[in-house]
Amino acid sequence: MGRLKGKVAIITGAAGNLGKQAAEIFLSEGAKVSLVDLDRPKLEQVQNELSDENVFIVEANVTKEEDVKNYVDQTVNKFGSVDIFFNNAGIIGEVGSIDQQSVDNFNKVLSINTMGIFLGMKHVIPVMKKQQQGSIINTSSVDGLRGSPNMAPYSASKHAVVGLTKTASLECAGNNIRVNSIHPAPVSGNMMKTVHQGQGTTQGNEEEQVEEEITKSIPLGHYADSKNIANLVLFLGSDESEFITGAEYRVDGGMGATS
């Protein structure tokens, strides 16, 4: 309790699985949270479920610079600072081999998963520079550290998050702003259902078979729970990680040990 006492956090993709879980844990540790998502009805539902006066919601498309500027400005107006930025919104996009991928899908995935991360940092960093402190956690994936057949746009977009993170960490170190990336394994929830469907169709397999195969590739033998990811984000957002920046944090049930 109280590990984030007095801190203000922005969480993007907050109507989704990982964002909502992080919001819950951040609140329980004493933070005020500004929740950002494209999906207004789901965002309102999350706000109702969390039922906490320290929750503020802002509808925004992370690919639109005016929306990004607005969610940062609104958070500062409401809570006075931005101490933690969980830069997390993302999509899988269409699943299929490179020769079957459309340019539209490539652009869409890169726009949300990479440009969204860039724009978020572009507008949060000046606020953190004024404060001379802050922690940014960018969501990549295990697919940001390895090839991922049939998910080239996703994998490319998540590799790009590593470059953005490391560069930002160097640019911001002198301002006491830390920037790290997290690399989760598959997490139980809707995003993996999309992967099961897409890979199943591409490979001519049932969704259950796809899930079994993916599970076998995880040494701990099961998918992550969203709490496993949120606990890492909590650590990176808190002062307990004050000497950690520019790092790639796997939370992957041992997948990284196999390569």
Ligand X SMILES: NC(=O)c1ccc[n+]([C@@H]2O[C@H](COP(=O)([O-])OP(=O)(O)OC[C@H]3O[C@@H](n4cnc5c(N)ncnc54)[C@H](O)[C@@H]3O)[C@@H](O)[C@H]2O)c1
Site for ligand X in 92-121 (CB under 6 A): 112
Told to check if 217 binds ligand X by CB under 6 A, we report no
Termini Cα distance of the chain: 37
Told to check if 16 binds ligand X by CB under 6 A, we report yes
Of these, 10, 38, 121, 218, which contacts ligand X (CB under 6 A)? 38
Q: Which residue is nearest to ligand X (CB)?
A: 16
Q: For ligand X, which is the closer residue by CB, 5 or 193?
A: 193
Q: For ligand X, which is the closer residue by CB, 4 or 15?
A: 15
Told to check if 190 binds ligand X by CB under 6 A, we report yes
Find the shortest distance in angstroms from Cβ 130 to ligand X. Answer: 25
Find the shortest distance in angstroms from Cβ 132 to ligand X. Answer: 28
Instruction: Name the residue with tokens 């802002």.
Output: 58
Q: Sort residue 80 into left (φ over 0), alpha (ψ -120 to 50) or beta.
A: left
Interacting span for ligand X (CB under 6 A) from 3-11, 57-65, 164-172, 210-218: 57-65
Q: For ligand X, which is the closer residue by CB, 81 or 139?
A: 139
Find the shortest distance in angstroms from Cβ 105 to ligand X. Answer: 14
Told to check if 90 binds ligand X by CB under 6 A, we report yes
Find the shortest distance in angstroms from Cβ 55 to ligand X. Answer: 15
CA distances to 65, 69, 184 from 246, in Å? 25, 24, 17
Q: For ligand X, which is the closer residue by CB, 1 or 259?
A: 259
Q: For ligand X, which is the closer residue by CB, 177 or 192?
A: 192
Of these, 177, 192, 218, 255, which contacts ligand X (CB under 6 A)? 192
Catalytic site residue 154? yes
Phi, psi of 160 (to 5 degrees): -60, -30
Name the amino acid, one letter, at 194.
Answer: T
Of these, 8, 19, 83, 120, which contacts ligand X (CB under 6 A)? 19
Give me the catalytic one of 71, 154, 223, 249: 154
Q: For ligand X, which is the closer residue by CB, 4 or 182?
A: 182
CA angle 77, 12, 35 (to 5 degrees): 50
Q: Which residues bind ligand X (CB under 6 A)?
A: 13, 15-19, 37-39, 42, 60-63, 88-91, 112, 139, 141, 184, 186-187, 189-192
Residues annotated catalytic, as ranges: 154
